[in-house]
Structure 1
Amino acid sequence: MSIQRRPKTGKDKNGKVRWVARYRDASGREHSKTFGTKTDAKNWEAEQLRALRSGTWIDPIHRQSTVGDLVRDYRDSAARPKTREAWTTYYNALGELYDVPVGKLTAGMIRKWVAGRSEVWAPRTLSNAIAFLNTVLNKAMEDGVIAVNPGKGIRVSVPSKRLSADDVPAPADVMRLIRAVEDGRLCSHNRVERAAMVRLAAATGMRRGELLGLRPCDVNELAGTITVGQQRGNNPLKTQSSYRVISVDSVTMAAILAVSGERYIFESLGYGAAQKIMDRAHETGLWPRRWTFHSLRHFHATQLLSAGVPVKAVSARLGHSSAAMTLDVYAHLLPADDALAAGIVGDLLRDNCGMEGRGDGGLRAVK
């Protein structure tokens, strides 16, 4: 570390004196900066030394990386097309944050951006965007690009994931949708293939990407099962628990075998096929707009739980990480279970504890 005068004596050709401050980082590499006064040079040198001692020093080269640079690089590292698509949405919405050098990014800047995006994004979308930005900034910390994450602790409130009864179609609604696809009312091309995809979604609760990634080798006609092992394009599934084997009823099995392509079961369908079905169903009034293709997954789960299928089995079919996750989303939609529980306890009390029911629905002691 040193402070040197330039020139050593007198002044330069412009009649000025410059002061050069130098220091070495933890790796031994030298850094320098020129100032107009000796005081400024000393203050800068002291600031760098304090940062080195506290572990908050950042290489000036890294400080030039912008938020846009980091987000773009992280987005491009995504393995799944749908993930990259979602991250591109956040990247395109960076706005005023895009050109900010990451070393100069502050919590105030992020809060201002969040406030602006809250006017156009739903709370859950905004929450996901904040989580993504924090992931990018945390990685920047790990890579030594920044010392602290200015986005830490910034959150938005998000409504509960719990569904209402109106969010889930009934069996008659689902069958009406399948029939409408089969007879061409909702699509004019590949209607048999599309109908099979809708049926399989309702019969298994599979996600759209999982349906489109299903291959002929994943179907075991003899065992009556399908293996969920990838998404379209050989892309990985959402989570490790998403890898699973699902039993399929004979009618659904026959439907998917009838349309099986060479590489994929639904060879001619892409990610937009499901949305086109939904758009047409909404336009014709066949389905209310609150129902989406994902509602078929909700239908599958609620029907199984209502029929008394153990929650662990339902969770496994859905590819949830735990039965607790399944219960958190769906259990409250089954109020009949509470009445059933009350009846069971009432029977136990009557048969084993000398209690019997009263006409008003309560219990009284039997003498």
Structure 2
Amino acid sequence: MKGHIRERSPGKWAIVLDVGEPDPKTGKKKRKWHSFTGTKRQAQSECARLIAEITSGGYVEPTKQTVAEFLAEWLKFIKPTVTPKTHERYTEICEKNLGPLIGDVALAKLKTDRIDAAFAKALTEGRRRAGGGLAPRTVHHMRRVLIKALNQAVTWDRLAKNPATATTPPKIERVKMLAYDADQTATLIEAFRPNRMFIPMLLAVMCGLRRGEILALRWRHVDLSDGRRMLSVRDSAEQTKDGVRYKEPKSGRARTVALSSMMLTELKAHRTRQAEEQLKLGVRPDDDSFVVAQVDGRPLKPVSLTHEWTRLLAKTSLPRIRFHDLRHTHASQMLAAGVHPKVASERLGHSTIGITLDLYSHVMPGMQADAAEQVDAALQAAISASRKTK
């Protein structure tokens, strides 16, 4: 394998690589040309590197395809393999975040330092409308998507290696988890009792269901008999640009959630009220009807539930939290009450107990103090009994 460099203009070089045997008919050598900008020594080093790649089999044919063109191709390729919501998010990141920063760069010339510079710029001035930088978590998502896309470029032999894997991820500070205490929860329940957000709020704060799980729950998934009183989480509603779709829960598997006496009573009353409303409109409810629905029985959109929650909460004196934080409220109150983390994990639908322990570690110090006191009391009782025996 041979190669040499030619100076085209000051600082501009052509790297010429001889590959394969000469054409038997014409006698011309097969060559590959690369453009390079830098000093003569740097051009010689790049020539040596390319020769080594060809010799080792790691050489990738250069392409004029830009990063933006490749990302568009990649988005089409992965569309059948991801959920519509995920594809929407990937598209948004590629077109609105990555595209303006590195979209015009030739894919073959994309380097780690260029990506790091793009991420640094996104953190300081990445917001297109309001100005300022993007949140570190958003840039972290950008990095994750770019790594995934460029891994495919490596698989397709468009790149020899993925330059995004060596980039420095932004530091993400954990957002403080918000939750109501028992008194605030009691205030919330009484404040929401007169409106239609009462049942979805209860399902979140007393059962730990996610927003999508609440809106996908049907009466056939709820057993209100006194002997069983439980519900099954089998589906989750997901909002996309094309409408609402129903998919499996976030953990990927169904779960069963036991109902408290209060939850059982409220669900029975809710089903009676809902049936009366729908019958007045000429709608005959059945087991396939949604537990949380519009007056005429049609399903609610996740975004509509969020808007209604925000509107009604603003009318109370309670701290402003997200609807999802009601789930955190349920989890925190379970653990603070001494419920075993494994039970809490199963009730919340976490894939592993480690997720539960990590998310709610702020509740653990109090639990550890209680555990220490319980062990101490047991030992003191044993010591006292031993002394009396002697």
Q: Give TM-score, length-normalised by structure 1.
A: 0.72
Aligned: 1:276 with 2:276: no
Residue of structure 1 equivalent to 2:378: 348
- The 1-side partners of 2:322 and 2:111 are apart by 39
CA shift, 1:82, in A, is 3.7
**Could you say if the C-alpha distance between residues 45 and 308 of structure 1 is closer, same or farther in structure 2, counting changes exceeding 3 Å?**
closer
CA shift, 1:230, in A, is 2.3
Residue of structure 1 equivalent to 2:342: 312
Indicate which of 243, 250, 257 corresponds to 1:238. 250
**More displaced stretch, 84-93 vs 149-158:** 84-93
Which amino acid letter does the alignment assign opposite residue 99 of structure 1?
A: D
CA shift, 1:93, in A, is 1.4
- The 2-side partners of 1:248 and 1:32 are apart by 74
Contact 1:228/1:246 (<8 A) preserved: yes
**Could you say if the C-alpha distance between residues 350 and 344 of structure 1 is closer, same or farther in structure 2, counting changes exceeding 3 Å?**
same
- The 1-side partners of 2:211 and 2:63 are apart by 43
Deviations 1:321-340 (A, max 9, x none): 22222112213324432332
**Could you say if the C-alpha distance between residues 352 and 56 of structure 1 is closer, same or farther in structure 2, counting changes exceeding 3 Å?**
same
Residue of structure 1 equivalent to 2:60: 58
Indicate which of 216, 220, 225 corresponds to 1:217. 220
Contact 2:63/2:107 (<8 A) preserved: no
**Could you say if the C-alpha distance between residues 147 and 322 of structure 1 is closer, same or farther in structure 2, counting changes exceeding 3 Å?**
same
- The 2-side partners of 1:35 and 1:301 are apart by 59
Query: Where in structure 2 are the equivalents of 1:113-124 lying within 5 Å?
Result: 113-119=118-124, 120-124=133-137
CA shift, 1:256, in A, is 6.0
Which amino acid letter does the alignment assign opposite residue 371 of structure 2?
A: A
Residue of structure 2 equivalent to 1:360: none
Deviations 1:8-36 (A, max 9, x none): xxxxxxxxxxx997659xxxxxx876899
Residue of structure 2 equivalent to 1:97: 102
- The 2-side partners of 1:256 and 1:133 are apart by 47
CA shift, 1:70, in A, is 5.0
Contact 1:205/1:296 (<8 A) preserved: yes
- The 1-side partners of 2:201 and 2:234 are apart by 19
Which amino acid letter does the alignment assign opposite residue 238 of structure 1?
A: K
Indicate which of 132, 154, 171 corresponds to 2:182. 171
SS at match of 2:246: coil
**More displaced stretch, 202-211 vs 66-75:** 66-75
Indicate which of 217, 239, 258 corresponds to 1:247. 258
- The 2-side partners of 1:103 and 1:308 are apart by 57
Query: Where in structure 2 are the equivalents of 1:280-295 lying within 5 Å?
Result: 280-281=311-312, 283-284=314-315, 286-289=317-320, 291-295=321-325
- The 1-side partners of 2:218 and 2:87 are apart by 23
Query: Where in structure 2 are the equivalents of 1:1-367 lying within 5 Å?
Result: 50-60=52-62, 63=65, 66=68, 67-70=70-73, 72-73=75-76, 76-77=79-80, 79-91=82-94, 92-94=96-98, 95-119=100-124, 120-153=133-166, 154-160=168-174, 163=177, 167-184=178-195, 191=196, 194-222=197-225, 223-232=228-237, 233-240=245-252, 242-249=253-260, 250-254=264-268, 257-258=271-272, 259=274, 262=288, 264-266=290-292, 267-281=298-312, 283-284=314-315, 286-289=317-320, 291-353=321-383
**Could you say if the C-alpha distance between residues 46 and 231 of structure 1 is closer, same or farther in structure 2, counting changes exceeding 3 Å?**
same
- The 2-side partners of 1:123 and 1:141 are apart by 27
Deviations 1:265-317 (A, max 9, x none): 3343102123213431454354433x111111111111111222221111011
**More displaced stretch, 54-63 vs 228-237:** 54-63
- The 2-side partners of 1:47 and 1:126 are apart by 32
Deviations 1:69-89 (A, max 9, x none): 256336734643443343344
Gaps of 5+ in 1: 4-18, 25-30, 37-42, 185-190, 356-367
Which amino acid letter does the alignment assign opposite residue 323 of structure 2?
A: F
- The 2-side partners of 1:102 and 1:298 are apart by 43
- The 1-side partners of 2:204 and 2:61 are apart by 52
Q: How many residues align?
A: 318
Residue of structure 2 equivalent to 1:40: none
Which amino acid letter does the alignment assign opposite residue 160 of structure 1?
A: R
**Percent identity over paired residues:** 26
CA shift, 1:264, in A, is 3.7
Contact 1:23/1:45 (<8 A) preserved: no
Deviations 1:220-271 (A, max 9, x none): 334322222222223233233x531222231353266454785643343102
**Could you say if the C-alpha distance between residues 251 and 145 of structure 1 is closer, same or farther in structure 2, counting changes exceeding 3 Å?**
farther
Residue of structure 1 equivalent to 2:12: none
Contact 1:226/1:248 (<8 A) preserved: yes
Contact 2:19/2:32 (<8 A) preserved: yes
CA shift, 1:181, in A, is 4.1
Contact 1:70/1:136 (<8 A) preserved: no
